């Protein structure tokens, strides 16, 4: 049965275009410009995996499972060091209008690059560690949420890492810098900066900058991201400690 | 760790004598299970006829019109419904439509990998849509908006987040719970003949007429519930885990509705032959399970209604 053509209701008739020069607008969820959404993190969300984690930042909800280290695909060439294989999927109901289930190749490769620098690939030679993510609800800042959640899942699976990877993003709208943007804020942003950061080593594994920025703004936005990542890193550490103390 | 003293399954060599339990379980799964079955108990301490604990949380996905998260043991399913508007077909101008899709993303099991979708997923999709349409749980007429012009197209997507056996049972329960939770938004017809949403704010009176004032919830009449049992020799194991399903391969799935009518009985091959008596036993186990599931579902729906009031 071919499904007939259908269209989604438009609930927000017009995207509110903000007066760009005005600095006094209020964010839709009432947060301050430099205030992140509350984070909720748990490990052990899917027992079938070697390690897993669930993360919730406001209405952004992601789940990540880690499998392995296990045998690499037959077609893969021999490799003396381990491989990290990342895949990010969006649930059909995760976005405002129903999407098609598809691999997000760009997100998958970004996730891979953000984690690669933190994982000790030499610790599992010739094998592959699979990191699979499913975005259950896309409420903005999806990639940072996936990266943070994935590093938590890797830790839960006992994969050796130099440090946890925490990630955060900043949107530039007019003259304001807002941290941890929600989906509707991302829709009307002029530029964005995403940073993946290892808090204890103070090293950046990935930095993505889009849009037009002045050097001063970049510095300001990077500081904001690093600060948010350090705080998130603490929450992730607490979550892991809790998981260990509750299991013993 | 305790060593296994004797070989009850009558298989394998003499080295089993000093083997550790965990190793014995992996090397000789069937004898391991049969030793438990002799004592009428399963490795997770359940009696043979007991299902695992089940919990339902409705309204788990805020971006959907209806949703439910269901957990039975470690098997976890997330079902969500998104409503879209379509033009109904010529044959049934006053009926909406329901499309059911079951997904097994790579996160749910070590056997599913990206690019190689699980064979089971389309099979379960078909079974779920068959059961839900045959059970007449939903009146498609309730999904109609303007006869011949517009109707709801309900997309019900079920995601398996963790696969640990009895996938069909848990998927069906999550689908039913999501349908019971479905909130249909208020809509009206605009000048171009398209359906648009009406904001829930009653103070802002719109000039347009709301077309579905009294059709905000689906009235579910006979709700289907199911139970899968494994047949092995003379034993019947209710609600098997993934490990049990991989060792003993004769499942029987019985679907009964809340009026106690048989909706579907499914035995896809397997080594054991189903005798009339064992099928009867499966049906009576299902009957008991239906009572359990109904009260769990009612409780979950009631507690969210209280939250929303």
Q: In terms of domains, do B103 and B200 share one?
A: yes
Strands A166-173 and A176-179, bridge-based pairing: antiparallel
**Does residue B142 lie within any of the structural domains?**
yes
Q: Provide the pLDDT for residue B189.
A: 80
Tokens read off for B100: 């059911």
Instruction: Give the three-state DSSP class for A230.
Output: helix
Mean pLDDT of B180-208: 73
Residue ranges making up the domain that contains B9: 1-39
**Does residue B164 lie within any of the structural domains?**
yes
Q: Please, what sign has the CA dihedral across residues A38, A43, A46, A52?
A: positive
Q: Chain B closest CA to A241's CA: distance in Å? A: 23
How big is chain B by its Cα radius of gyration, in Å?
23
Check CB contact under 8 Å for A7 and B84: yes
**Does residue B111 lie within any of the structural domains?**
yes
Spatial neighbors of B136 by CB under 8 A, at least 6 apart, are B221, B222
Q: Provide the pLDDT for residue A103.
A: 66
In DSSP notation, A43-73 reads E-S-TTSSEEEEEEETTEEEEEEEEEEEEPP
Is the per-residue pLDDT at B200 higher than 90? no
Check CB contact under 8 Å for B197 and A91: no
Asked if the ipTM is above 0.90, the reply is no
Q: Provide the pLDDT for residue B6.
A: 44
Is the per-residue pLDDT at A214 higher than 80? yes
Q: In terms of domains, do B170 and B87 share one?
A: yes
Instruction: Give the three-state DSSP class for A21.
Output: coil
Tokens read off for B185: 């938004």
Q: Provide the pLDDT for residue A176.
A: 87
Q: Provide the pLDDT for residue A136.
A: 94
Q: Provide the pLDDT for residue A6.
A: 79
Mean pLDDT of B152-165: 94
Q: In terms of domains, do B69 and B135 share one?
A: yes
Q: CATH 3.30.230.70: does it fit domain A39-247?
A: yes
Nearest 5°: phi and psi at B284?
A: -70, -35
Cis before B185 (ω within 30): no
- Asked if B159 has any chain A CB less than 8 Å from its own CB, the reply is yes
Q: pLDDT per residue over A159-168, tens digit each?
A: 999 999 999 9
Q: What is the rounded distance in angstroms from the CA atom of residue A204 to the CA atom of residue A184?
A: 27
Q: Chain B closest CA to A86's CA: distance in Å? A: 10
Nearest 5°: phi and psi at B104?
A: -120, 90
Which residues of chain A are within 8 Å of residue B114 when distances are taken between CB atoms? 87, 89, 103, 132
Check CB contact under 8 Å for B161 and A46: yes
CB B264 within 8 A of CB B255: yes
Is the per-residue pLDDT at A17 higher than 60? no
pTM (2 d.p.) = 0.89
Is the per-residue pLDDT at B18 higher than 70? no
Check CB contact under 8 Å for A3 and B99: yes
Which residues of chain B are within 8 Å of residue A64 when distances are taken between CB atoms? 107
**Does residue B153 lie within any of the structural domains?**
yes
Of B89, B161, B197, the CB nearest to A4: B89
Q: Provide the pLDDT for residue A51.
A: 94
Is the per-residue pLDDT at A10 higher than 90? no
Residues of A with CB under 8 A from a CB of B: 3-11, 13, 45-49, 52, 59, 63-65, 67, 70, 87, 89, 91-96, 98, 101, 103, 130, 132-134, 136-139
Residues of B numbered 181-210 whose beta carbons fall under 8 angstroms of chain A's beta carbons: which are they?
Answer: 185, 187, 194-197
3-state secondary structure chain B: CCECCCCCCCCCCHHHHHCEHHHHHHHCHHHHHHHHHHCCCCCCCCCCCCCCCEEEEECCCCCCCEEEEEEECCEEEEEEEEEEEECCCCCCCCCCEEEEEEECCHHHCCCCECCECCCHHHHHHHHHHHHHHHCCCCCHHHHEEECCCEEEEEEEEEEEEECCCCHHHHHHHHHHHHHHHCCCCCEEECCCCCEEECCCCCCCCCCCCECCCCCCCCCCCCCEEEEEEEEECCEEEECCCHHHHHHCCCEEEEEEECCCCEEEEECCCCCCCCCHHHHHHHHHHHHHHHHHHHHHHHHHHHHHHHHHC
Q: In terms of domains, do B122 and B195 share one?
A: yes
B55: β partners? B71
Which residues of chain B are within 8 Å of residue A98 when distances are taken between CB atoms? 82, 84, 155
Question: Considering B178, B193, B216, which residue would you say is the last residue of a domain?
Answer: B216
Q: pLDDT per residue over A147-158, tens digit each?
A: 999 999 999 999
Q: Provide the pLDDT for residue B8.
A: 44
Which residues of chain B are within 8 Å of residue A87 when distances are taken between CB atoms? 106, 114
Q: Provide the pLDDT for residue B16.
A: 53
Answer left, alpha or beta for residue A199, where phi above 0 means left and psi between -120 and 50 means alpha: alpha
Q: What percent of chain A has pLDDT over 90?
A: 65
Which residues of chain B are within 8 Å of residue A10 when distances are taken between CB atoms? 196-197
Report the mean per-residue pLDDT for chain A.
Answer: 88
Cα–chain-centroid distance for residue B203? 41
Check CB contact under 8 Å for B107 and A70: no
Q: Which of B60, B63, B163 to mutate to test the interface with A (most CBs of A within 10 A)?
A: B63
Q: In terms of domains, do B18 and B154 share one?
A: no
Report the mean per-residue pLDDT for chain B.
Answer: 86
**Does residue B255 lie within any of the structural domains?**
no
Q: What is the rounded distance in angstroms from the CA atom of residue B241 to the CA atom of residue B16?
A: 25
Of B62, B74, B194, the CB nearest to A47: B74
Question: Considering B216, B242, B259, which residue would you say is the last residue of a domain?
Answer: B216
Q: What percent of chain B has pLDDT over 90?
A: 52
Q: What is the rounded distance in angstroms from the CA atom of residue A163 to the CA atom of residue A198?
A: 6
Q: What is the rounded distance in angstroms from the CA atom of residue A180 to the CA atom of residue A34?
A: 8
User: For chain A, which residues make up each domain, given as ranges?
Assistant: 39-247
Q: In terms of domains, do B67 and B3 share one?
A: no
Using a 10 angstrom Cβ sphere, with 0-12 exposed, 13-18 middle and 19 or more buried, the burial of residue B296 is middle
Nearest 5°: phi and psi at B54?
A: -125, 135
CATH number of the domain that residue B195 is part of: 3.30.230.70
Which residues of chain A are within 8 Å of residue B99 when distances are taken between CB atoms? 3
Is the per-residue pLDDT at A14 higher than 50? no
Q: Chain A closest CA to B115's CA: distance in Å? A: 9
- Most confident among A24-33, A67-76, B129-138 (mean pLDDT): B129-138
Q: What percent of chain B has pLDDT over 70?
A: 89
Q: What is the rounded distance in angstroms from the CA atom of residue B296 to the CA atom of residue B57?
A: 10
Is the per-residue pLDDT at B77 higher than 50? yes
**Does residue B129 lie within any of the structural domains?**
yes
Q: Tally C-beta pairs within 8 A across A and B.
A: 120
Using a 10 angstrom Cβ sphere, with 0-12 exposed, 13-18 middle and 19 or more buried, the burial of residue B159 is buried
Residues of B numbered 249-308 whose beta carbons fall under 8 angstroms of chain A's beta carbons: which are they?
Answer: none
Is the per-residue pLDDT at B273 higher than 50? yes
Q: Provide the pLDDT for residue B180.
A: 94
Q: In terms of domains, do B110 and B179 share one?
A: yes
Residue of A nearest to B114 (CA): A87
A130: β partners? A67, A85
């Amino acid at each position: 049965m071919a499904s007939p053509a259908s269209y989604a209701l438009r609930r927000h008739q017009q995207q509110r275009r903000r007066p760009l020069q005005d600095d006094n607008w209020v964010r839709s969820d009432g947060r301050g410009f430099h205030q992140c959404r509350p984070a909720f993190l748990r490990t052990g969300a899917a027992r079938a995996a070697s390690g897993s984690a669930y993360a919730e930042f406001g209405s952004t909800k992601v789940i990540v499972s880690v499998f392995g280290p296990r045998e690499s695909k037959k077609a893969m060439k021999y490799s003396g060091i381990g491989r990290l294989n990342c895949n990010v999927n969006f649930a059909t109901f995760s976005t405002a209008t129903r999407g098609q289930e598809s691999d997000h190749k760009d997100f998958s490769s970004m996730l891979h690059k953000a984690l690669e620098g933190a994982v000790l690939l030499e610790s599992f030679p010739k094998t592959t560690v699979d990191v699979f993510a499913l975005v259950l609800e896309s409420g903005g800042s999806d990639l940072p949420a996936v990266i943070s959640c994935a590093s938590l899942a890797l830790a839960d699976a006992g994969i050796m890492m130099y440090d946890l990877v925490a990630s955060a993003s900043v949107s530039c709208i007019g003259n304001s810098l807002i941290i941890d943007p929600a989906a509707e804020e991302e829709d009307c942003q002029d530029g964005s900066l995403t940073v993946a950061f290892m808090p204890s080593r103070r090293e950046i594994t990935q930095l993505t900058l889009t849009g037009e920025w002045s050097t001063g703004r970049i510095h300001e936005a990077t500081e904001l991201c690093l600060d948010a990542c350090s705080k998130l890193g603490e929450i992730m550490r607490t979550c892991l400690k809790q998981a260990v103390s509750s299991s013993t | 760790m305790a060593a296994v003293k004797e070989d009850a399954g009558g298989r394998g060599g003499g080295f089993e004598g000093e083997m550790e339990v965990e190793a014995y379980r992996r090397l000789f799964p069937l004898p391991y299970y049969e030793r438990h079955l002799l004592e009428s108990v399963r490795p997770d301490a359940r009696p043979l006829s007991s299902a695992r604990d089940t919990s339902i949380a409705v309204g788990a996905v805020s971006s959907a019109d209806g949703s439910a998260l269901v957990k039975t043991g470690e098997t976890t399913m997330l079902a969500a419904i998104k409503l879209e508007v379509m033009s109904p077909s010529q044959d049934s101008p006053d009926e909406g439509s329901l499309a059911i899709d079951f997904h097994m993303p790579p996160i749910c099991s070590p056997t599913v990998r990206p690019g190689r979708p699980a064979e089971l997923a389309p099979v379960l999709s078909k079974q779920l849509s068959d059961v839900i349409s045959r059970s007449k749980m939903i009146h498609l007429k309730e999904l109609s908006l303007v006869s011949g012009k517009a109707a709801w197209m309900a997309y019900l997507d079920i995601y398996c987040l963790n696969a640990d056996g009895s996938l069909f049972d848990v998927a069906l329960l999550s689908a039913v719970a999501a349908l019971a939770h479905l909130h249909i938004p208020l809509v009206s017809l605009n000048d171009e003949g398209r359906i648009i949403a009406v904001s829930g704010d009653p103070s802002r009176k719109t000039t347009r007429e709301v077309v579905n004032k009294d059709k905000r919830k689906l009235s579910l009449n006979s709700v289907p519930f199911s139970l899968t049992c494994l047949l092995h020799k003379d034993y019947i194991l209710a609600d098997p885990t993934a490990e049990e399903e991989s060792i003993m391969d004769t499942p029987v799935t019985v679907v009964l509705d809340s009026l106690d009518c048989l909706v579907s009985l499914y035995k896809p091959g397997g080594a054991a032959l189903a005798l009339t008596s064992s099928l009867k036993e499966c049906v009576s186990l299902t009957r008991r399970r239906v009572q359990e599931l109904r009260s769990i579902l009612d409780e979950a729906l009631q507690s969210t209604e209280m939250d929303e009031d």
